Amino acid sequence: MDYINMTYEEALSHAPKEEPARQYYFIERYKEVLDQLKASSGKEQFTFHIATFGCQMNSRDSEKLQGILEAIGFVGTDTEEADFVLYNTCTVRENANDRVYGRLGYLNSLKKKNPHMMIALCGCMMQEEKVVAKIKQSYRFVDIIFGTHNIFKLAELMYERLEEKKMVVDIWEGTDRIVEDLPTDRKYSFKSGVNIMFGCNNFCSYCIVPYVRGRERSRSPKDILEEVKQLVADGVVEIMLLGQNVNSYGKNLETPVSFAELLTQIDQVEGLERIRFMTSHPKDLSDELIEAMKHSKKVCKHLHLPLQSGSSRILKVMNRKYTREQYLELVEKIRAAIPDISLTTDIIVGFPGETEEDFNETLDVVKKVRFDSAFTFIYSKRTGTPAAKMEEVPEEAVKNRFDRLLTEVQKISSEVCGRDEHTVQKVLVEEVNDHEKGLLTGHMSNNTTVHFKGDSSLIGKIVDVYLDESRGFYYMGTLRP
Ligand code: 5AD
Ligand code: SF4
């Protein structure tokens, strides 16, 4: 093609073997391509759009993908009428997959209008063989498919696609590699996710994550600390440490380090104000971690502790490795150490074999713990997981239980969330409220949302706010000088 100076084969023969040098090389090659495309098409800029589905891990991955696209010279845009559209997909529940298929048809219509448009799909859903087979067969207009283990390769895959007549598909089954130091762009200037580990070894019987994200791999404390220091130097005040189960951080490092030790080290980074983390599995949340949280001024007063079910019988079939009693004891221990902590959770309704009795046990735990908030999910069958072979609960029973759970969860959370009414709290100002002019929105240490009047120059700062009124899930407050 006339806009490539170098064929893919030539580029390959010159490309460094090591990472990240190899990717920086392909970024440079693609920059040249963009320059030529701009000259020949008369278009001043080439745009990209990333749509991210799913969890914080995916959001962080998208920031890395965005960093690469910007390094090449693409300019971000809010619409899918872009020259490079990338869907970073999720597959934790079936409806996430349906949403992607639903939107692909629309992308095809856009591609017909824009000869330069490229469509790429990546993320968890692409790690499923049947998904890739379906896209290859029925969505042939897709240009590139890659998975969760090789997002760092985006520039190389894009370059390869320039010559390939057909879809470029690069899915790795697993990896033990972690590629550091690629360009990243952050959605917020003042807060950032930081991956501390990748993958999951827990194999909860309903969950597809271990199959699509592979085995646990921890980053070294040195790499993590360097990234945190760099982020702080760059203006970040709040970080969210990310891992499928942060409690098993560091177990497989050459010199094992516990999550509590890592947290204590990060706590000492000067200039950093807040530390959050996600997610913590109840089976191995250590006393050491509770102590580390208790003694830190920076670790936020919030713990997300997925319950999944309140029935010990169901928890066993789920392979969660704790009982309802152990969960309740853990909650008590945490609250005894950190009384003002906010607890949130995930609950699945309608797991195979769940009886009315099992469900009532879940409701009972919800009433006992009184979570600040709970994400409630209807069980979704994921092919390849052990639970997929188990008999499902009839749909009406599941819907009925889901509604009852949601009502209870919302009632409790509106009562619990108001407990700081009429006090002054520290709030990280995050954005201008899109619904009401003049209002800012931020979060307290315990993650509750606060809206208050103020100027957008406060964004990224931690300010004192008096909480005038609790409105169930959020507060209306007044800025204190
Ligand atoms: N069906 C419903 N919910 C699920 N989750 C994980 N797998 C499934 C599934 N197959 C929920 C769990 C987990 C959250 C991220 O998603 O509650 O904690
Ligand atoms: Fe899935 Fe369980 Fe791993 Fe969480 S801990 S990602 S629910 S397998």
Backbone angles phi, psi at 396, to 5 degrees: -65, -40
Helix (H, G, I), strand (E, B) or coil at 263: helix
CB-defined site of ligand 1, < 6 Å = 92-93, 206-207, 306, 308, 346, 348, 377, 379-380, 382
pLDDT, mean over the chain = 95
Q: CB of 281 closer than 6 A to ligand 2? A: yes
The backbone region for 441, taken as left when phi is positive above 0, alpha when psi lies in -120 to 50, beta otherwise, is beta
- Per-residue pLDDT at 317 exceeds 60: yes
Q: Which helix (H) or strand (E) is 162 found in, with range?
A: helix 154-163
**CA quadruple 358, 363, 365, 371: dihedral sign:** positive
Q: Residue 283: count other Cβ atoms within 10 Å of its Cβ.
A: 17
Give the sign of the dihedral formed by CA 242, CA 248, CA 249, CA 253. negative
Question: Could you tell me the distance, in angstroms and rounded to a whole number, from the CA of residue 407 to the centre of ligand 2?
Answer: 26
- pLDDT classification of 3: cutoffs 50, 70, 90: low
244-300 confidence digits (pLDDT tens)? 999 999 998 999 999 999 999 999 999 999 999 999 999 999 999 999 999 999 999
Rounded Cα–Cα distance for residues 467 and 474 (Å): 10
What's this model's pTM, rounded to 2 decimal places?
0.94
Taking residue 62's Cβ as centre, other Cβ atoms within 10 Å add up to 23
Residue with CA closest to ligand 1 atom 13: 346
Question: Which one of the ligands is nearest to 245 CA?
Answer: 2
Nearest 5°: the CA angle 247, 196, 53 is: 100
Q: Specify the DSSP class assigned to residue 28.
A: H
pLDDT of 181 reads: 82
**Which residues 6+ apart lie within 8 Å of 437 measured at CB?**
none
Residue of the CA atom closest to atom 4 of ligand 2: 244
Nearest to 242 by CA among 201, 199, 179: 199
Average pLDDT over residues 306-311: 98
Q: Looking at residues 96-113, what average pLDDT do you find?
A: 94
Nearest ligand 1 atom to alpha carbon 380: 1
Cβ of 386 less than 6 Å from ligand 2:
no
The per-residue pLDDT for 4 is 64
Whole-number percent of the chain with pLDDT over 70: 99
pLDDT digits (tens, 9 = 90+) for 197-235: 999 999 999 999 999 999 999 999 999 999 999 999 999
Give Rg (Cα) of the chain: 24
Query: For residue 462, how far is its CA from the centre of ligand 1 (angstroms)?
Result: 33
At 180, the pLDDT band (50, 70, 90 cuts) reads confident
Q: Using the atom order of ligand 1, give the atom closest to the CA of residue 385.
A: 10
pLDDT score, position 481: 85
User: What is the mean pLDDT of the segment spanning 179-188?
Assistant: 88
E-assigned strand segments in 124-273: 144-146, 168-170, 191-195, 197-198, 217-218, 238-242
* Position in ligand 2 atom list of the atom nearest CA 346: 7
On the question of pLDDT at 134 being above 90, the answer is yes
pLDDT at 183: 86
Q: In whole angstroms, give the CA distance from residue 86 to residue 118.
A: 8
C-alpha 44/C-alpha 39 separation (Å) is 8
DSSP sequence for 120-146: EEEEGGGGSHHHHHHHHHH-TT--EEE
Is residue 176 very low, low, confident or very high in pLDDT (cuts 50, 70, 90)?
Answer: confident
pLDDT in tens, 74-85: 999 999 999 999
Reduced to 3 states (helix: H, G, I; strand: E, B; else coil), residue 468 is strand
Report the separation in Å between the CA atom of 8 and the middle of ligand 1, taken as the mean of its atom positions: 41
Q: Which of 56, 58, 59, 92 to mutate to test the pocket of ligand 1 (most atoms within 8 A of CB)?
A: 92
pLDDT at 9: 82
Ligand 1: centre distance to CA 443 (Å) = 25
- Report the nearest-CA residue for atom 7 of ligand 1: 207
Query: Which ligand is the nearest neighbour of the Cα of 347?
Result: 1
Please identify, by atom number, the ligand 2 atom nearest to the C-alpha of residue 245. Answer: 5
Nearest listed ligand to the Cα of residue 205: 2
Cβ atoms of 93 and 385 within 8 Å: the answer is no
Rounded mean pLDDT, 179-190: 89
The percentage of residues in the chain with a pLDDT greater than 90, rounded to a whole number, is 90
Average pLDDT over residues 58-69: 96
213 lines ligand 2 (CB under 6 A): no
- Which three-class secondary structure state does DSSP give residue 303? strand
The pairs formed by 402-405 with CB atoms below 8 angstroms and a separation of 24 or more are 402/349, 402/350, 402/376, 402/378, 404/363, 405/347, 405/349, 405/359, 405/362, 405/363, 405/366, 405/376
Q: Which of 207, 322, 382 to mutate to test ligand 2, by most ligand atoms within 8 A of the CB atom?
A: 207
Separation between Cα atoms, residue 67 and residue 61, nearest integer Å: 10
Q: Separation of 210 CA from ligand 2 center, angstroms? A: 7
At residue 356, what is the residue type? E
Closest ligand, as measured to the CA of 244: 2
Kindly tell me the sign of the dihedral angle through the C-alpha atoms of 143, 22, 75, 115. Answer: negative
* Mean pLDDT (whole number) for 120-132: 96
Q: How confident is the model at residue 7 (pLDDT cuts 50, 70, 90)?
A: confident
Pocket test for ligand 2, best of 56, 197, 198, 204 (most atoms within 8 A of CB): 204
The residues near 481 (Cβ < 8 Å, ≥ 6 apart) are none
CA of 302 to the centre of ligand 1 (A): 20
| Nearest ligand 1 atom, CA 306 | 18
Instruction: Tell me, using a 6 A CB cutoff, whether residue 220 lines ligand 2.
Output: no
Mean of pLDDT values over 400-426: 95
310 alpha carbon to ligand 1 midpoint, in Å? 15
Whose CA is closest to 285, among 309, 314, 306? 306
Nearest by Cα to 53 from 100, 94, 85: 100
pLDDT at position 60: 94
Going from the Cα of 49 to the center of ligand 1, the distance in angstroms, rounded, reads 27
- Is the distance from the beta carbon of residue 244 to the nearest atom of ligand 2 less than 6 Å? yes
